[in-house]
Amino acid sequence: MTGTFTIRDHVPVPMRDGIDLHADVWLPEGAGPFPVLLQRTPYIKEEPFGTQHISAMDFRGTLRRGYAIVVQDCRGRWSSDGQFDPFCNETADGHDTIAWLCAQPFCDGRIAMFGASYVGATQVLASLGAPEGLAAIAPNLTTARHDETWTSRGGAVELGFLYLWIIEALAGIDLQKRAGDMTPGALARARALLADLSADPDAAFRRLPLIDEGLVGLAPYVADWFETATAETTRLTELAETPVPALVIGGWNDIFVEGSIELFETLRGRWPTRAEVPDRLILGPWSHGNPSDFQGDLWHGYGSTTAPLLAEHLAFFEAAFAGACPDTPMVRYFRSGSNTWHAAPDWPLPGTAPREMFLDGAGGLSAAPGPDAALRYTADPSDPVPTTGGATFLPGLVMGKNSGPRDQAEVERRGDVLVLTSAPLEAAMEVTGRVEAVLWVATTAPCCDWTVRLCEVDATGASRGLVDGILRWDAPDGAAPAVVRVTLGHIGHLFAQGSRVRVQVASSNFPRFDRNPQSGAAPATATEADFRPAAQTVLVGAAHPSRIVLPVIPEAFPGGPEFTAL
C-alpha cells in the first residue's frame, strides 16, 4: 500500500492477435469493484507530465473519489509489445482493453477514458462502435481526423509539429523497439540522424528534402505524412453514429483547436434538441503542453489555468455513469481581452453575426469596399516569413515560447507581408467563432500559399497575433485573378474600445508550415534548386472585395452570466 491506494505495475493485457499491452493499475482503498478511468498513451505510462499534468487530472484526488485508474502503454511503445503504427491499431486495441477491464474483479463495468493530444486520439478511436462498458470519453487538446487538423492544415504540412513530434516523442523508443529488425548500418544511420535533429531543431526544419530515406529509416510511419491529401472524413461519419458522451476540451492557442471544435460539432450533431445533448465543450486559452495562465506575451489571469478541470472531468463522468446529461452549460469558453469565462447554450454561439471588414489600397480595413487597387509583394521560399506566435508549440513542447499571442513588429516590418489596419474601434467588440478571409488574388507561380493573420493593435501601438491560417493553392491557368477563402480558425477575444483590428497577408509561415517551392515541385521532396520567387497580388475594392469575416457576438449575448472561473 502507498497511502490509501495500491499500484499494480506492468499488468499484461492480451490483445486479439496474441500480443500483450502492459498497464499500471491504480486501485483506491476498499474492496471494490470500482468505476475505472482508462488512459492509453504512447508517452510512458509512468510519466506524470503526460498522464496527469497535460491531461488536467490528479490521480490522488481521483483515487480518493473511489475511482480505479488504468494507464496503458500503446502497442509498440515502452513496456508494450508489438509495433507502433500511429492511429492504426487504437480502435481494436482500445476495444480489447475495455473488454478486458470489464472482466476484471476490480472493475464494476463502468469505464471512462481521459487524456490529451494523442491520448485524446486513443479515446476517440476507441469510442467508435461504442464498445460495451465505455460510458464516456474526455478528449483534451486533440482532434478526430489525423490528416487535416493533425498532420496538415489548408493543404500545407504542419512541419514544426511533425518534426518535433518525431524528435521529442516518437523516434527514440521506436528505434529501440526496431533495433533487432535493422541492419547495424541502418540503425547507426538512424541514431546519428536523430542525434543531429535533436541537437539543432531549427536546422532540422530547414533540411531539404523534407522527407528522404534517412527520415523514413528513423520513423517509417512518416512516409505519407508529408504528402497532403484530401481531408479524411470517415471517422467523423463514424463518430456521428457513436452515442458515447464526450467532454471535449480545447485551447484557443492549441495546435489542434480546429480539430477539437470540429470533433464537438460532429458530436453535437448527433442530437436533435439541446436538451438531449450529453456532450460538453470547454475552450480555454491554453496551448499544447502549456495549460498555464501565461500564453505568448500575455498573462490571462489567475482563473485561466486548467486546475478546475479535475472536478469537471469527474462530474461529467458521474453524470455519464448515471445515464444523465451533465448539470452544466453545453459550452463554456474563455474570452481573452477581458480574461473572463462565459457560458453558452450551444455552438456556434447563438446570435453570432458576421462582420465584414474590407481591405483597401491604402492599407486600411473598413466597413465597405474602397477604390479598386492592387497590393503586391514578392514571396521567396528561400526567405520565408518566420512563425511568430499562433497555435503551435514551437520551439518545443515543454517550452512553447513561440506560441500564443506574440508581438508582430518583426513580421510587419517585412516587405513580403501586407499589413492592413482599421480605425480605432468606437466600442468593444467580441469575436468568438471561426474567422475567415476572402481574397481576390493572382500569382506568377503555378502553386503558392496564402497566409492570413488577425491581430489586435492596442493603445500603445503593439500588434499581437490572435489567430492565423494558411491555404495551399494551385493557381488556375492564365493570369486572371481568382477568389480564395482562407480559414484562419477559431478565436474567443474581446477587442477593446479604441483598439484597432489588423490583418496580415503573406505567403509563408515557417517553420510551422512547410515551404511551398512555388515552382510546381512537390514540397516534400523539393530541394533549394526547386525554390522560385513569385509575384503575389491581392486585389481590393468594389470589383474585387477582399475582406476578413469576423464572427461578432452581440453585447446582449443570451448565453448566460459571466464567470470568473470554471
- Helix 171-178 × helix 184-199 angle, to 10°: 170
3-state secondary structure of 497: coil
Looking at the DSSP bridge assignments, the partners of residue 28 are: 5
pLDDT tens sequence across 102-128: 999 999 999 999 999 999 999 999 999
Q: Flag whether 463 is in a domain.
A: yes
Distance spanning both ends of the chain, measured CA to CA? 34
Tell me how far apart the alpha carbons of residues 390 and 506 are, in angstroms, rounded to a whole number: 15
pLDDT band at 233 (very low <50, low <70, confident <90, very high): low
Tell me how far apart the alpha carbons of residues 267 and 284 are, in angstroms, rounded to a whole number: 19
Task: State which of 224, 250, 265 marks the end of a domain.
Answer: 224
Q: What is the pTM of this model?
A: 0.96
Q: C-alpha cell of 248?
A: 471535449
Name, in order, each residue with C-beta under 8 angstroms of 130's C-beta and a sequence gap of 6 or more: 242, 243, 244
User: Please, are residues 111 and 51 in contact by the beta-carbon 8 Å criterion?
Assistant: no
Query: For residue 26, how many C-alpha atoms fall within 13 Å in the half-sphere facing its CB?
Result: 25
Q: C-alpha cell of 160?
A: 514544426
pLDDT of residue 42: 97
What is the rounded (10 degree) CA torsion for 116, 145, 249, 92?
A: -50
Task: State which of 324, 344, 364 marks the end of a domain.
Answer: 344
Q: How many domains does the chain have?
A: 3
Whether 39 and 175 share a structural domain = no
Phi-psi region of 78 (alpha: psi -120 to 50; beta: other; left: phi over 0): left
Whether 472 and 533 share a structural domain = yes
Q: Flag whether 559 is in a domain.
A: no
Q: Which amino acid belongs to residue 468? A: D
Tell me how far apart the alpha carbons of residues 135 and 118 are, in angstroms, rounded to a whole number: 20
Tell me how far apart the alpha carbons of residues 394 and 371 are, in angstroms, rounded to a whole number: 40
pLDDT tens sequence across 247-261: 999 999 999 999 999
Whether 293 and 377 share a structural domain = no
pLDDT tens sequence across 165-187: 999 999 999 999 999 999 999 99
DSSP E strands in 345-457: the ranges are 353-359, 364-366, 373-379, 418-422, 429-443, 447-457
Tell me how far apart the alpha carbons of residues 353 and 344 are, in angstroms, rounded to a whole number: 15
pLDDT tens sequence across 409-423: 999 999 999 999 999
Whether 90 and 187 share a structural domain = no
User: Please, are residues 175 and 187 in contact by the beta-carbon 8 Å criterion?
Assistant: yes
Task: State which of 344, 366, 392 marks the end of a domain.
Answer: 344
Tell me how far apart the alpha carbons of residues 141 and 119 are, in angstroms, rounded to a whole number: 9
Tell me how far apart the alpha carbons of residues 526 and 531 are, in angstroms, rounded to a whole number: 8
Whether 56 and 82 share a structural domain = yes
Q: Flag whether 538 is in a domain.
A: yes
Whether 102 and 53 share a structural domain = yes
Range of the domain at 214: 157-224
pLDDT of residue 290: 87
The CATH number assigned to the domain holding 540 equals 2.60.120.260
Nearest Cα residue to 114 out of 61, 50, 21, 166: 50
With residue 121 as reference, give the H or E element that holds it.
helix 118-127
Whether 126 and 248 share a structural domain = yes
Q: Which position has the grid cell 522560385? A: 532
Q: Flag whether 563 is in a domain.
A: no
Tell me how far apart the alpha carbons of residues 35 and 321 are, in angstroms, rounded to a whole number: 9
More confident residue, 236 or 477: 236
Report whether pLDDT(53) > 50: yes
Whether 122 and 161 share a structural domain = no
User: Please, are residues 126 and 89 in contact by the beta-carbon 8 Å criterion?
Assistant: no
Q: Flag whether 130 is in a domain.
A: yes
Whether 414 and 449 share a structural domain = yes
Whether 239 and 337 share a structural domain = yes
pLDDT tens sequence across 425-472: 999 999 999 999 999 999 999 999 999 999 999 999 999 999 999 999
The answer to whether the Cα torsion of 367, 368, 371, 376 is positive or negative is positive
Alpha-helical segments (H) within 156-279: 159-165, 171-178, 184-199, 201-206, 213-218, 234-239, 257-268
Whether 27 and 139 share a structural domain = yes
pLDDT band at 401 (very low <50, low <70, confident <90, very high): confident
Report whether pLDDT(207) > 50: yes
pLDDT band at 559 (very low <50, low <70, confident <90, very high): very low
Tell me how far apart the alpha carbons of residues 386 and 510 are, in angstroms, rounded to a whole number: 5
Q: Flag whether 54 is in a domain.
A: yes
3-state secondary structure of 466: strand
pLDDT tens sequence across 135-172: 999 999 999 998 899 999 999 999 999 999 999 999 99
Q: C-alpha cell of 529?
A: 534548386
Tell me how far apart the alpha carbons of residues 118 and 86 are, in angstroms, rounded to a whole number: 9
Q: Flag whether 561 is in a domain.
A: no
Q: C-alpha cell of 263?
A: 470533433
The CATH number assigned to the domain holding 255 equals 3.40.50.1820
pLDDT of residue 563: 53
Whether 254 and 369 share a structural domain = no
pLDDT of residue 422: 98
Q: Flag whether 560 is in a domain.
A: no
Cα angle 40, 46, 47 (rounded to 5 degrees) comes to 95
pLDDT, average across residues 238-244: 94
Exposure string of 447-470, with b = 16+ CB inside 10 Å and e = fewer, is: bbbbbbbbbbbeeeeebbbbbbbb
